[in-house]
Chains A and B, each alone.
Chain A
Amino acid sequence: MIETLKHLINTLAAPTIFLPLVAVLFFLVLHYYRLLSRPAVAGGILLAAVVFYAVSLLDNNFRHIVAKPDNVPITMMLFLSGFCVWMALRQAAINDERIERGLPPVEKEGNETIFVWPDLVYIEFLAAVIVGVLLTVWSIELKAPLEQPASPFKAPNPSKAPWYFLGLQEMLVYFDPWLAGVVFPTLIITGLICIPYMDINPRGVGYYTLKHRRMAITVYLFGFLFLWVTLIMLGTFFRGPNWNFFGPYEFWDVHKVEPLVNINLSEIIYIKILGTGMPSHWLPREIWGLALIAGYTFVLPILLAKTVLKNFYAKMGLLRYNVFMFHFLMMMLLPIKMVCRWMFNLKYFVAITEYFFNI
């Protein structure tokens, strides 16, 4: 019974199932946030998560990975992020309901100014003391890890970056290092900096709401919760030797072999569809992929601006619209590539390996 359950969870944790599940769950949460954020419901979810974790810790393989000293913060991050998102959605639910009834948000109600001394200084002091104590207990209980001395010749398998970069490392499954390790991180930073200039919705300052800023919040939370936090979790807990997938209760077997059957778009076109064999020069070979990517990046925004996003474009203006669309489309490239990989075993849209230009 337990074994079947473990087996089921191991199967469900495979990226092809796990990631779509999380994505669906994400949109369900945003849709039913009023119901799900009720204290009783949210408390139930929290309880279920804690029980799941606690029971799972009885499993040796699970405990081995989750209880690694450097992985402990990830568990903290998961629960804390969940808690914070709950707090935000709960307050958003309350405010949104008030707004519907024509009332101002709670934050506006009964607002008076109060002295920083003693009230704020007291809270800051208290928070520092509490966190200081927690840190001390954590430090006494859990030793900082120290492995064998550095040896440039003995690469551990798997070799992992520090946990906060594992979302980026997980991206390497789908993209080459120049994208996953250089271009996308840069775009994350520039995209974040541009947010205040791209979001021209004047509402939603100073209170929690979903109703007033549905699009902005959906995009941001999708990036943070799905593309960042979930991928970190996947990269740390479910990726073992050779970056193969392992379920949470699965032993990390170095000899696990996963057949590599991925093929490029050019191979799909020239071999599977046209049956002509591959052109030898890279330009005719990759022209389809190049056209596809160029169309996606440069033509699609124009088409959208002329059709479904007409109003949006009019409101945003040329520059804002293009900066937003570029970052947004680049962000969506990751889930798109994931789906293509799972459905067609697609390796690269564009594969000009001669010049390290693979997308």
Chain B
Amino acid sequence: MWSNISKYVTDSQVWKSIIRHGYPDTRRNRVLIILSNVFLHLHPTKVPSHSLKLSYTWCMGGLTFFLFLVETLTGVLLMFYYRPVGEYAYNDILALREHVPLGIMRELHRWAAHAMVITVWLHMLRVFLTGSYKPPREFNWGIGVVLLTLTLLLSFTGYLLPWDQLAIWAITVGSNMARATPFVGHEGPGSKLLNPGLFGMEDVPLIHATDDARFVLLGGPFVGEATLLRFYVLHCVFIPLAAATLMAAHFWRVRKDGGISAPTDEFSKPL
């Protein structure tokens, strides 16, 4: 009975149009499903068995990607309800909590974000400890470091959006540092040197509180509504796009560099 149904399904025109071959239970079809599916073809068709062991990769890279997908999904849902304007932002978040029965989208989004930060660090740790950044994988490690930075920036820009005390002050503390950027922060070393003293304006510094690095970051001299909008756009559009693009490159390189690292014959060589 069961085999009849599954045969009926896999022989149907609809199945064949989507999957293009029978159910992947033969060698041929197991190769084909990976090759003909755009998502699965991130994988090679076959991998060495040690790379499947949980104790080897800790699954951390894959989980980071999974959490990124969770963030994208829940993030889009949150965008339906949230307006990045000082007047509305806080109340929109409040409404999510008070008017949505059993609503956990905000929770999912927040906790998955925290979890993603942790999994990125641990993924990096395992890549390091298995020496997987050594040739030919040096460049992919570099892509990874940029991904790490983007992950932290995603978390950081998102932290402001609830527009509560926790948010505004965490971002204030975090972005205060930019004031001290060498040369381009108004309290940074060297910023006073950038005073060309043109047109008899020796007393007017070139870099001051309303044009320095922090000002550019925040869109104002302190964390305000302009910052909210700026961080919202970065958080919902720019950084996710950049991260997704780099992830594609990252996965591509994992394959091009010969898949997950495996012991080479170098291990026995003397130093």
Could you list which residues of chain A lie within 8 angstroms of chain B, going by C-beta atoms?
70, 73, 76-77, 80-81, 84-85, 87-88, 91-92, 99, 104-108, 110-121, 123-124, 127-128, 131-132, 135-136, 138-140, 142-152, 154-156, 159-165, 168-169, 176-178, 180-183, 189, 192-193, 195-197, 199, 201-209, 212-213, 217, 220, 224, 352, 355-357
Contact between chains at A115 and B45 (CB < 8 Å)? yes
A208 smallest CB distance to B (angstroms) = 6
With beta carbons under 8 angstroms apart, the residue of A119, A135, A144, A162 that contacts B174 is A162
Nearest B-chain residue to A210, judged by Cβ: B129
Q: B155-176: contact bitstring with A at CB < 8 Å (1 yes, 0 no)? A: 1100100111111111011101
B205 smallest CB distance to A (angstroms) = 12
Chain B residues contacting A118 (CB-CB under 8 Å) are: 24, 30
Chain B residues contacting A120 (CB-CB under 8 Å) are: 43, 47, 52
Contact between chains at B267 and A117 (CB < 8 Å)? no
Nearest B-chain residue to A126, judged by Cβ: B59
Chain B residues contacting A152 (CB-CB under 8 Å) are: 168, 222-224
Q: How far does the alpha carbon of A70 sit from the alpha carbon of B170 in the complex, in Å?
A: 12
16 pairs from A and B in contact (CB 8 Å cutoff): A70-B166, A73-B111, A77-B118, A107-B262, A111-B262, A114-B52, A117-B24, A123-B54, A132-B66, A144-B106, A146-B164, A160-B169, A203-B271, A205-B132, A205-B267, A206-B261
Nearest A-chain residue to B135, judged by Cβ: A196
B260 smallest CB distance to A (angstroms) = 8
Contact between chains at B263 and A206 (CB < 8 Å)? yes
* B40 contacts the other chain (CB 8 A): yes
Q: Helix, strand, loop or mixed for chain B's interface?
A: helix
For the complex with contacts A73-B115, A87-B55, 8 further pairs of A-B residues with Cβ separation under 8 Å are A104-B263, A116-B30, A140-B104, A146-B164, A150-B86, A159-B169, A162-B170, A165-B156
Contact between chains at B125 and A84 (CB < 8 Å)? yes
- Most chain B C-beta atoms within 10 Å of own C-beta, residue among A107, A118, A202, A220: A107
Contact between chains at A161 and B170 (CB < 8 Å)? yes
Chain B residues contacting A106 (CB-CB under 8 Å) are: 50
Contact between chains at B63 and A131 (CB < 8 Å)? yes
With beta carbons under 8 angstroms apart, the residue of B56, B107, B138 that contacts A197 is B138
A67 smallest CB distance to B (angstroms) = 14
Assuming A76-B118, A146-B97, is B52 touching A356 (CB within 8 A)? Answer: no
Chain A residues contacting B222 (CB-CB under 8 Å) are: 152
With beta carbons under 8 angstroms apart, the residue of A73, A204, A357 that contacts B189 is A357
Q: How far does the alpha carbon of A144 sit from the alpha carbon of B104 in the complex, in Å?
A: 9
Q: How far does the alpha carbon of A336 sit from the alpha carbon of B241 in the complex, in Å?
A: 40
* B131 contacts the other chain (CB 8 A): yes
At the interface with chain A, which of B2-10, B177-185, B196-204, B243-251? B177-185
Q: How far does the alpha carbon of A208 sit from the alpha carbon of B269 in the complex, in Å?
A: 16
* B90 contacts the other chain (CB 8 A): yes
Contact between chains at B177 and A177 (CB < 8 Å)? yes
Contact between chains at A159 and B172 (CB < 8 Å)? yes
Contact between chains at A217 and B34 (CB < 8 Å)? no
A149 smallest CB distance to B (angstroms) = 5
Q: How far does the alpha carbon of A177 sit from the alpha carbon of B177 in the complex, in Å?
A: 5
Q: How far does the alpha carbon of A347 sit from the alpha carbon of B52 in the complex, in Å?
A: 51
Contact between chains at A147 and B59 (CB < 8 Å)? no
* B268 contacts the other chain (CB 8 A): yes
Contact between chains at B173 and A147 (CB < 8 Å)? no
Q: How far does the alpha carbon of A152 sit from the alpha carbon of B185 in the complex, in Å?
A: 21
Chain A residues contacting B56 (CB-CB under 8 Å) are: 107
Chain A residues contacting B271 (CB-CB under 8 Å) are: 201, 203
* B206 contacts the other chain (CB 8 A): no
Chain A residues contacting B266 (CB-CB under 8 Å) are: 202-203, 205
With beta carbons under 8 angstroms apart, the residue of B110, B115, B167, B261 that contacts A205 is B261
Contact between chains at A206 and B46 (CB < 8 Å)? no
Chain A residues contacting B262 (CB-CB under 8 Å) are: 107-108, 111, 205-206
Q: How far does the alpha carbon of A195 sit from the alpha carbon of B144 in the complex, in Å?
A: 12
Chain B residues contacting A132 (CB-CB under 8 Å) are: 66, 70
Contact between chains at B97 and A114 (CB < 8 Å)? no
* B152 contacts the other chain (CB 8 A): yes
Chain B residues contacting A91 (CB-CB under 8 Å) are: 55
* B232 contacts the other chain (CB 8 A): no
B129 smallest CB distance to A (angstroms) = 5
Contact between chains at A193 and B40 (CB < 8 Å)? no
Chain A residues contacting B152 (CB-CB under 8 Å) are: 164-165
Assuming A111-B50, A165-B174, A204-B131, is B142 touching A224 (CB within 8 A)? Answer: no
Contact between chains at A169 and B173 (CB < 8 Å)? yes
Q: How far does the alpha carbon of A212 sit from the alpha carbon of B7 in the complex, in Å?
A: 54
Assuming A81-B122, A206-B264, is B180 touching A189 (CB within 8 A)? Answer: no
Nearest B-chain residue to A359, judged by Cβ: B189
Assuming A155-B169, A181-B177, is B130 touching A206 (CB within 8 A)? Answer: yes
A354 smallest CB distance to B (angstroms) = 8
Chain A residues contacting B133 (CB-CB under 8 Å) are: 195-196, 199
* B253 contacts the other chain (CB 8 A): no
Chain B residues contacting A81 (CB-CB under 8 Å) are: 121-122, 125
Chain A residues contacting B62 (CB-CB under 8 Å) are: 124, 127
With beta carbons under 8 angstroms apart, the residue of A70, A142, A177, A196 that contacts B180 is A177
B34 smallest CB distance to A (angstroms) = 5
Chain B residues contacting A196 (CB-CB under 8 Å) are: 133-135, 137-138, 141-142
